[in-house]
């Protein structure tokens, strides 16, 4: 019998859901609102030097990869179901395409993190 | 072969519960877009200072701020509902031979999110 790939993608979906529930709102607030406006957090928090040093740290690399990769797997998995519910049933082939896109995004992030040094 | 498909137009407007559900589901688009914003920023960071600073300046544009404000609200609602159903999505948790009550699972989820978020803000501010 062919083994289902569901447990793998379900775990990635679940991990992304948990990570985004725990830190998603605060991350969006910090990088998208607080830092650009200099609200509560100084603008230099995301200066080139600081972000470069951050992305070169081993633990930070794992955190960045987890945030980008898991958010993509969670988001794209749910977009499939969301479109179905809004009257656009895409079919299983499209689910593979969306998971593939999430994988490409994750690999791109991993590649960039190794290039940064 | 063409099979019958039940029409589904406008179902989400029929009941306030469906409306809230649909609103929550929209967070998936915003979360995906946010991940792409970060991925793009990472790419700019790897290209050098001028490219990175251009990306950072674009974050302060009105369009970007509106996008992030909407994303913040929707992902916040996603987080709330994620913890709200956690007693159903997790296997039964037992503590001292007794099942952990549902409100305790919800409460500890929200508490962890608040503590982690404040920690994140405190480290950066």
B116 touches chain A (CB under 8 A): yes
pTM for the whole structure: 0.91
- Are residues B62 and B97 located together in one domain of the fold? no
How crowded is residue A40: how many other Cβ atoms within 10 Å of its Cβ?
A: 13
- Are residues B6 and B58 located together in one domain of the fold? yes
- Are residues B12 and B57 located together in one domain of the fold? yes
- Are residues B60 and B91 located together in one domain of the fold? no
Computed from CA positions of residues A9, A15, A17, A19, in that sequence, does the dihedral angle turn out positive or negative? negative
Q: What is the ipTM of this complex?
A: 0.93
- Are residues B46 and B11 located together in one domain of the fold? yes
Q: Which domains does chain A have, with CATH numbers?
A: 7-116 (1.20.1300.10)
Let me know if residue B79 belongs to a domain.
no
Computed from CA positions of residues B74, A74, A105, A25, in that sequence, does the dihedral angle turn out positive or negative? positive
Domain range spanning residue B97? 85-125
Mutate to test the interface with B, among A75, A87, A91, A108 (most CBs of B within 10 A): A75
Chain A CB contacts of B120 under 8 Å are: 23, 26-27, 30
Tens digits of residue pLDDT in A59-85: 999 999 999 999 999 999 999 998 888
Q: In CATH, what number is assigned to the domain containing residue B59? A: 1.20.1300.10
- Inter-chain contact A30–B39, Cβ cutoff 8 Å? no
Tens digits of residue pLDDT in A20-33: 999 999 999 999 99
- Are residues B27 and B51 located together in one domain of the fold? yes
* pLDDT > 80? residue A115: yes
Let me know if residue B78 belongs to a domain.
no
What's the helix, strand, coil split of chain B in %, to 5? 75, 5, 20
Number of compact structural domains in chain B: 2
């Amino acid at each position: 019998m062919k083994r289902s790939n569901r447990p793998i993608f379900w775990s990635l979906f679940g991990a992304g859901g948990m990570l985004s529930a725990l830190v998603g709102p605060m991350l969006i607030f910090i990088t998208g609102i607080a830092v650009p406006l200099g609200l509560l957090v100084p603008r230099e928090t995301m200066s080139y030097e600081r972000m470069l040093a951050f992305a070169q740290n081993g633990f930070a690399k794992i955190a960045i990869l987890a945030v980008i990769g898991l958010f993509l797997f969670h988001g794209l998995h749910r977009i499939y179901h969301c479109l179905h519910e809004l009257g656009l049933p895409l079919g299983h082939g499209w689910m593979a395409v969306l998971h593939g896109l999430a994988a490409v995004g994750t690999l791109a992030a991993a590649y960039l993190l190794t290039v940064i040094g | 072969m063409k099979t019958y498909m039940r029409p589904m137009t406008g179902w989400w407007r029929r009941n306030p519960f469906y409306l809230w559900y649909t609103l929550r589901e929209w967070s998936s688009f915003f979360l995906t877009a946010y991940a792409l914003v970060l991925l793009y920023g990472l790419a700019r960071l790897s290209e050098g200072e001028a490219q990175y600073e251009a990306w950072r300046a674009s974050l302060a544009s009105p369009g970007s701020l509106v996008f992030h404000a909407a994303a913040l609200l929707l992902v916040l609602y996603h987080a709330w509902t994620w913890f709200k159903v956690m007693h159903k999505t997790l296997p039964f948790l037992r503590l001292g031979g007794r099942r952990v009550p549902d409100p305790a699972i919800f409460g500890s989820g929200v508490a962890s999110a608040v503590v982690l978020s404040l920690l994140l803000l405190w480290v950066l501010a």
